[in-house]
Structure 1
Amino acid sequence: MIVTIKDVAKEANVAPSTVSRVISNSPRISEKTKKRVREVMEQLGYHPNFQARSLAAKSTQAIGVIMPNSAFHAFQNPFFPEVLRGISTNAHTNKYGIYLSTGSTEDEIFEEVTSMVQGRRVDGIVLLYSRVNDKTMKFLQEADFPFTVVGRPDENEERVTYVDNDNIFITKQITNYLIKLGHKNIAFVGGSLDFVVTIDRLNGFKLALSEAGIPFNDEYLVNEELIKENGKKAITALMNLQSPPTGLVTQDDLIAYEIISHLEDMKIRVPDDVSIVSFNNLLLSEHSKPSITSVDIAIYQLGFEAAKCLIEIIKNPDLLPRRITIPTKIIERKSCANNKNIPM
């Protein structure tokens, strides 16, 4: 037997409209009445039809979460489950569901977002990346559709609400960490220049070198495509340079972990021969051998704040765009040591 809103109203001795207002948590209903109605709902096993309510209110009570590639590939990187944990925590608190993207290419992502917006399948969207010349972000701006971004927008950032770390500042800091250990031959490994986070981190890296009077060496720049294509070959070529690097700044802990494995095969010791720093402070960075010095970028908080900002925009479309900067922290471990070739 299906329990209806009328059944709940009769048992609680209130009008059906009162039950409806309790479900929507209306401030017009006293806490005493809300408690009684909710107890009756639980006793009778009544579950509100939120889909029908959404149609009536022209709201889906769902937010879209767009990843830079398919969920299959994204979930291979522990960053995404953690940022999604932050998003889902805030969404659950505000009674929003999550609609995950499945597109694996830039065009597929664009088509999926277009369908979400035009079909009104979600009330707003969180982009978990910021791509250079991103047509998806431009579409959302032109459609005046609620969205937030995890990452600094490539352009018009003053018109977009986004949540990010200060990637230039923290990469300058982590590079200076290696410089203070006596390293001058420092490589930047991983990351695609299609994404703003890589551009910002590379700029922070170059800034640290410049201020220390160390020239930037193009040979010490190894991009993500080379690592994905053949990581071992890319690292072997880097370490076989006439003046190989003694320090590596890597884009994330997964890349750092892979590099340590390749270096071990080459009989190059970390940190005795090469020091490595990274980003994200994932669990594997702590349990890697050696454990990896990594920047904790507060992944959960990035997701939580992005969802919080989005829901605020959905509820109040006239809010001015904001930048939320999430603090970072360098976690020192055992992957770095003084450069043995430099007197300290």
Structure 2
Amino acid sequence: MGITIKDVAKAANVAPSTVSRVLSDNPRISMATKKRVRKAMKDLGYHPNINARSLANNSTQTLGIVMKSSADKALQNPFFPEVLRGVSSVAHKEQYSLNISTGETEDEVMESVRRMVEGHQVDGMMLLYSSKDDRVADYLLERGFPYVLIGKPTGNMNEVNHIDNDNIQAAIDITDVLIEKGHTRIAFVGGDPNLTVTEDRVAGYKLALQQAGIPIDNSYQVYTELLTSGGKEAVRELFQMDKPPTGLVVADDLMSVGMLTMLAEFGIRVPEDVSLVSFNNVYLSEIIRPALTTTDVQIFQLGNQAAKCLIENVKNKDEPIKRIIVPHNIVERDSVKQLE
């Protein structure tokens, strides 16, 4: 027979009810008692029955995770595993499990979310994206179900917990890197234009050009998938122009990797023939050659802060709505050269 709460109580010289209160982190139990009980748990090898605790607390101790596309496709991009690493670091500490939505289409993802919420499988939801007219966000808001957004809400700004970067300023800063090197023919390669992160980054790109007195050319704006394949498609489109760009602002490091591959196939060298700057600072940006000049948006912190915010909201439904801006910084490497 396994170790029970009574065994822990006996070893710690407390009542079984005190052990239960320590497990639920009851603030009325002194820190000294908590330490003594937790030491007894560790010494005896006691592991609490999460299912029983969940029933007692009317809680699943589980958070739902929603991605814009299927998990299979999304997880090809290093951004999402790093966000999940940040989420997991908090969830593990707070003894929450994660349930990731699956589905190849928007309808399938929506059905997965409904199943989690209406089947009482999760206590709260985390959306790892923000887009216009999003059915999932509308559904959660309408139900009053706890959720947090990584990104900027397209509406209901004061009703939605969200964790974001200042993507407009980040795009200004990274575009200025090219402008300061003498580039005027600068293209922007972004993801889904319905995503608020794409909308903000292209807005920042345009503002940087305007502030420098550089005319905005819409033919220098390309939108494609945030994958290596999307980057390759962008190169085909941009470098068949009569006047191709000399500088590239790319909205995602994984797209940049695809672009570097295709540029090499076209015989175009980076940074000798074209300079390239990017976003996210995933591990690939440092090991690829040339190493990418990119915007570090602190992906781990985005996930970490989102998990903290959601768990606080789950534990206290009256918790005030939060808007947290995670700072960014520019990491200069080898993909940019002064234009002669």
TM range (shorter): over 0.9
1:161: which partner in 2?
A: 161
1:234: Cα distance to partner?
4.0
Shift of the 159–332 alpha-carbon distance from structure 1 to 2, 3 Å rule, reads: same
Structure 1 gaps of 5+ residues are none
Q: Are the counterparts in 2 of residues 63 and 98 from structure 1 also a CA contact under 8 Å?
A: yes
Q: Percent identity?
A: 53
* Counterpart AA for 2:241: L
**SS at 1:300 equivalent:** helix
**SS at 1:320 equivalent:** coil
* Counterpart AA for 1:329: N
Q: How many residues align?
A: 340
Shift of the 29–133 alpha-carbon distance from structure 1 to 2, 3 Å rule, reads: same
1:246: which partner in 2?
A: 246
2:144: which partner in 1?
A: 144
**SS at 2:148 equivalent:** strand
1:108-147 to structure 2, matched below 5 A, reads: 108-147=108-147
2:265: which partner in 1?
A: 265
**SS at 1:107 equivalent:** helix
1:1-344 to structure 2, matched below 5 A, reads: 1-225=1-225, 232=232, 234-340=234-340
**SS at 1:157 equivalent:** coil
Structure 2 gaps of 5+ residues are none
1:153: Cα distance to partner?
0.9
Q: Are the counterparts in 1 of residues 228 and 255 from structure 2 also a CA contact under 8 Å?
A: no
Counterparts of 2:200 and 2:287 in 1: how far apart (Å)? 28
- Aligned CA RMSD, in angstroms, stands at 1.9
* Counterpart AA for 1:110: M
* Counterpart AA for 1:92: H
**1:155-180 deviation per Cα after TM superposition (whole angstroms, max 9, x unaligned):** 11121110100111110121122112
**1:158-207 deviation per Cα after TM superposition (whole angstroms, max 9, x unaligned):** 21110100111110121122112111111111311121100111111111
Counterparts of 1:207 and 1:181 in 2: how far apart (Å)? 17
Shift of the 293–122 alpha-carbon distance from structure 1 to 2, 3 Å rule, reads: same
1:313: Cα distance to partner?
1.2
**1:132-174 deviation per Cα after TM superposition (whole angstroms, max 9, x unaligned):** 1101001111110111110001111121110100111110121
* Counterpart AA for 2:7: D
1:228: Cα distance to partner?
7.0
* Counterpart AA for 1:272: E
Counterparts of 2:231 and 2:197 in 1: how far apart (Å)? 21
- TM-score normalised by length of structure 1: 0.93
Counterparts of 1:298 and 1:229 in 2: how far apart (Å)? 25
Counterparts of 2:127 and 2:225 in 1: how far apart (Å)? 22
- TM-score normalised by length of structure 2: 0.94
Q: Are the counterparts in 2 of residues 190 and 227 from structure 1 also a CA contact under 8 Å?
A: no
